[in-house]
A and B are shown apart, each in its own frame.
Chain A
Amino acid sequence: MADKIYFYPVNAFFVEKIIKKEKPDGVLLAFGGQTALNAGVELEKKGILEKYNVKVLGTQVETIENTEDRDLFKKKLTEISLKTPKSMSVSSVEESISAAKKLGYPVMVRIAYALGGLGSGVCYSEEELTDRGRKAFSFAPQILVEEYLEGWKEVEYEVVRDSYNNCITVCNMENFDPMGIHTGESIVVAPSQTLTNSEYHKLRDISIRLIRHLGIVGECNVQFALDSKSEDYRIIEVNARLSRSSALASKATGYPLAFIAAKLALGYSLTELQNQITKKTMACFEPALDYIVVKIPRWDLQKFRRVKKEIGTEMKSVGEIMAIGRKFEEVLQKAIRMLNIGMNGITVNDISLNNLENELKNPTDQRVFAVAEAIKKGFSIEKIYELSKIDKWFLYKIKNIVETEEQVKSYKPDTIPKDLVLEAKQNGFSDVQVAKLLDTDELSIRSLRKDMGILPSVKQIDTLAGEFPAKTNYLYLTYNGSEDDVRFKQEKQVVVLGGGAYRIGSSVEFDWCCVNTVIALREMGHSTIMINYNPETVSTDYDTCDKLYFDELTYERVTDIYEKENPLGIIISVGGQIPNNLAMRFHDTNIKVLGTSPVSIDNAEDRHKFSKLLDELGIEQPEWKELTNIEEAKQFANKAGYPMLIRPSYVLSGAAMSVVFNEHDMEEFLLKASEVNKEHPVVISKFIMGAKEIEVDAVANKGEILVYAISEHVENAGVHSGDATMALPPQKTYHETIRKIKRIAREVAEHLKITGPFNIQFLAKENRVKVIECNLRASRSFPFVSKVFKTNFIELATKAIMGERVEKVDKSHFELDYVGVKAPQFSFSRLKGADPTLSVEMASTGEVACIGNDVREAFLLSLLSVGFKVPKKSILLSTGPIEDKAYLLKSVKKLKEIGYKLYATKGTADFLKENDVDTEVLYWPLEEKKPNVVDSIKDGKIDMVVNIPKSFEKEELTNDYLIRRAAVDFDVPLLTNLQNTRLLINALSEKKLEEIEVKSWDEFV
Chain B
Amino acid sequence: MQKRAKVKLVLEDGSIFHGFSFGAEKSAAGEVVFNTGMVGYPESMTDPSYKGQILVLTYPLIGNYGVPKDEKEDGLLKYFESDKIQAQALIVSDYSKEHNHWNASRSLSDWMKEFDVPGIYGIDTRELTKKLREKGTMLGKVVYDDNDIELEDPNKRNLVSEVSIKEPITYNKEGDKRIVLVDCGAKNNIIRSLVKRNCCVIRVPWDYDFHSLEFDGVLVSNGPGDPKMCKETINNIKRCIEKDIPTFGICLGNQLLALAAGADTYKLKYGHRSQNQPCVEVGTKKCYITSQNHGFAADTKTLPDEWEPWFVNLNDDTNEGIRHKTKPFFSIQFHPEHFPGPVDTNFLFDKFIGVIR
Binding site for B on A (CB under 8 A): 164-168, 191-198, 200-201, 204-205, 208, 228-230, 269-272, 280-282, 284-292, 326-328, 391-393, 396-397, 399, 407, 417, 419-420, 423, 457, 459, 464-469, 480-483, 485
Contact = CB atoms under 8 A, between A and B. Distances in A.
Nearest to B284: A164
B36 A467 contact: yes
Interface string B15-28: 00100000000000
Q: Which 5 A-B pairs have the closest CB atoms?
A: A197-B40, A396-B98, A466-B129, A465-B36, A288-B36
Given A228-B102, A291-B60, A407-B1, A285 B276 contact: yes
B125 A204 contact: no
A191 B65 CA distance: 14
A269 B341 CA distance: 23
B53 interface: no
B121 to A, nearest CB: 10
A551 to B, nearest CB: 16
A282 B338 CA distance: 22
Given A229-B102, A468-B315, A481-B126, A166 B287 contact: yes
A271 B40 CA distance: 27
Contact of B276 (A165, A205, A287, A481): A287
B52 interface: no
Contact of A197 (B39, B102, B285): B39
Contacts of A194: 64-65, 100-101
A191 to B, nearest CB: 5
Given A289-B59, A290-B60, A392-B100, A480 B93 contact: yes
Contacts of B42: 196-197
B341 A480 contact: no
Nearest to B68: A196
A420 B129 CA distance: 27
Contacts of B152: none
A167 B289 CA distance: 8
B133 interface: yes
Interface in B291-308: none
Interface in B51-86: 58-61, 64-65, 68, 79
B209 to A, nearest CB: 36
A423 B1 contact: yes
B58 A196 contact: no
B276 A271 contact: no
A459 B36 CA distance: 16
B1 A417 contact: yes
Contacts of A280: 315
B94 A480 contact: yes
B272 to A, nearest CB: 8
Given A195-B39, A285-B277, A466-B130, A201 B341 contact: yes
Given A164-B285, A420-B1, A467-B133, A201 B60 contact: no
Interface residues of B, number: 55
B175 to A, nearest CB: 24
B245 to A, nearest CB: 32
Contacts of A229: 102
Nearest to B316: A281
A392 B65 CA distance: 10
Nearest to B277: A285
A193 B62 CA distance: 9
A85 B130 CA distance: 45
Contacts of A291: 60
A288 B102 contact: no
B178 to A, nearest CB: 29
Contacts of A269: 285, 287
A466 B278 contact: no
A284 B314 contact: yes
A270 B59 contact: no
B100 A168 contact: no
Contacts of A205: 342-344
A204 B315 contact: no
Given A198-B339, A467-B34, A480-B124, 8 more contacts: A165-B286, A196-B65, A196-B68, A285-B314, A396-B100, A465-B274, A466-B130, A481-B127
Contact of A393 (B43, B100, B103, B315): B100
Nearest to A408: B1
Contacts of B340: 197, 201
B156 to A, nearest CB: 26
A568 B242 CA distance: 72
Given A205-B343, A285-B314, A288-B37, A326 B274 contact: no
B297 to A, nearest CB: 15
A466 B124 CA distance: 12
B161 interface: no
B278 A282 contact: yes
Contact of B59 (A290, A396, A457, A485): A290
A16 B185 CA distance: 64
B49 interface: no
Nearest to A424: B1
Contacts of A480: 60, 93-94, 124
B287 to A, nearest CB: 5
Interface in B86-137: 93-94, 96-103, 124-127, 129-130, 133
Given A197-B39, A290-B60, A270 B1 contact: no
Contact of B127 (A282, A392, A483): A483
Contacts of A328: 61
A201 to B, nearest CB: 6
B59 A193 contact: no
A228 B103 CA distance: 10
Contacts of A228: 102
Contact of A204 (B93, B94, B342): B342
B295 to A, nearest CB: 14
B38 interface: yes
Nearest to A460: B126
Contacts of A466: 34, 36, 58, 126, 129-130, 133
B124 A292 contact: no
B199 interface: no
Contacts of B287: 166, 269-271, 284
Given A285-B315, A286-B275, A326 B60 contact: yes
Contacts of B97: 396
Nearest to A282: B314
Given A285-B278, A289-B38, A465-B36, A326 B93 contact: yes
B259 interface: no
B182 interface: no
B101 A197 contact: no
Contacts of B219: none
